[in-house]
Amino acid sequence: MYLAANACRIASPAQSLQALTVGSVAYGTVEMGGWRSLASDKGQPSAFSRAGLSIWGSIKPEVVEFGGDSLVSGGNPPTVDTPTVGRDCYPELVRSTMHGGPAFDRDEVGTSYAAPKVTRIAARLQSILPEESCLLYRALIVQSARWPEWSKALSAEDQASLLRRIGFGIPDIESATTNTDFRTTYITHQEQPLGPGDCHIYQVPIPPMLRSPGDDYDIRIDVTLSYAAAPRRTRRTPQGYLAIWLDWISNGKGEPFADFRDRAVKRDTDPPKSPGAIDWTIESRSNWGTIRDIRRNIGTVQTSRGGSRRRAGRRAGGGRLRHTQ
């Protein structure tokens, strides 16, 4: 696929580690009047979108939204355009009526129309949580993102390719702003400063009703970290570019709290993977996790999902901040 070519990689300024980068995906497919859409399914990357990985292997774009798709003709040579026969694949947009025409229509496509949809979620979060930091808004947007249903059948290798194209998926305004009886999001209140070598440890008690041996549940666990750090002119490595960097780790199943605490605050070396650790999709090392050769802890927004079946015990999570010289 041509999106894997270096010429289609995320470009400046979208590769900024401090920014939330938005890509575009298609509404669906169309084949009519000698034209067909380039995307093969709903949620596939748009023909004009960009793909990662970005600078230093960071995951970009982090999220995507529906920005439409281009169509290709069956001629020789083929033509790539947005003819009216493909209007169902284009986003509904407000138009200028200065020179006539309707007040809104489906006649344009682009990532410029995908990004405002994500901005809408950020605006809703600001209205609900006006005292919170923009870092939290970014975390909740990424936390709410989901891949299309068809991605569940992909192999780990194909999932890695999809991650490069659509990041963590399409964010959902309801998931980002509300809880339900079956989904709960825990957040930290306001900014949580950390000094070099420090960490914050969080414990989430699992209700007894979810740990009953008579029940059978598939429990999905998502963890998202969003932070900011002062950039430096040195750009040879991510540690050189950011004045500080932060990552998060989780405890293993049955791991005593004291052992996890000692492992979390251990300095100067990366903590080893604990016995019985959650099978995270993306890990802090490229040879861990379900999706290989990709690390979650390069950028300033880091997320991963894991899961367990039947019973879940008490979970602890921690973050460590390192100062780079």
What is the pLDDT of the chain when averaged over all its residues? 85
Cα separation, 233 vs 242, in Å, equals 9
- Domain segments of the chain: what residues? 2-175, 192-323
> Using 50, 70 and 90 to split pLDDT, how confident is the model at 24?
very high
Query: For 9-33, what is the mean pLDDT?
Result: 91
For 201-224, b where at least 16 C-beta lie within 10 A, e where not — what string?
eeeeeeeeeeeeeeeeeeeebbbb
Do residues 28 and 42 lie in contact, with contact meaning Cβ atoms separated by under 8 Å? yes
Confirm if 272 and 247 have CB atoms less than 8 A apart: no
Position of tokens 């059978």?
216
pLDDT over 90, % of the chain: 44
With a cut of 80, say whether residue 165 has pLDDT above it. yes
pLDDT > 70 fraction of the chain, expressed in percent and rounded: 88
Mean pLDDT of 67-93: 91
pLDDT 10s digits, 90-142: 999 988 899 888 999 898 899 999 999 999 999 999 999 999 999 999 999 99
Asked if residue 146 lies in contact with residue 280, where contact means CB atoms within 8 angstroms, the answer is: no
Separation between Cα atoms, residue 11 and residue 21, nearest integer Å:
11
Report the alpha-carbon distance of residue 129 to residue 123 in Å, rounded. Answer: 10
- Strand runs (DSSP E) across the chain, as ranges? 22-25, 31-32, 35-37, 63-66, 71-73, 80-81, 93-94, 104-105, 199-204, 218-226, 244-250, 301-309, 315-323
3-state SS, one letter per residue, for 40-99: CCCCCECCCCCECCCHHHCCCCCEEEECCCCEEECCCCCCEECCHHHHHHCCCEECCCCC
What CA–CA distance (Å, rounded) separates 43 from 5?
20
Strand order in the sheet with 71-73: 31-32, 35-37, 71-73, 80-81
Confidence of residue 264 (pLDDT cuts 50, 70, 90): confident
- Two tokens, residue 38: 């380039």
A 10 A CB-CB count for 246 gives 20
Which pTM was predicted? Answer: 0.88
pLDDT of residue 319: 44
Q: Tell me the HSE value of 52 on the side-chain side, using a 13 A CA sphere.
A: 33
Residue 295 has pLDDT above 70, yes or no: yes
Closest CA to 253 of 304, 192, 177, 316: 316
For the segment 172-197, the average pLDDT, to the nearest whole number, is 88
Q: Which CATH number fits domain 192-323: 3.40.80, 2.30.230, 2.60.120, 3.40.50?
A: 2.60.120
Length of the chain equals: 325
Higher pLDDT, 195 or 118: 118
Burial of 194: CB neighbours in 10 Å, binned 0-12, 13-18, 19+: middle
Structure tokens at 132: 């919170």
Q: Model confidence over 224-263: pLDDT tens digits?
A: 999 988 888 767 777 778 888 888 888 887 888 888 888 8
Q: By CB neighbour count within 10 A (0-12 exposed, 13-18 middle, 19+ buried), where does 11 fall?
A: exposed
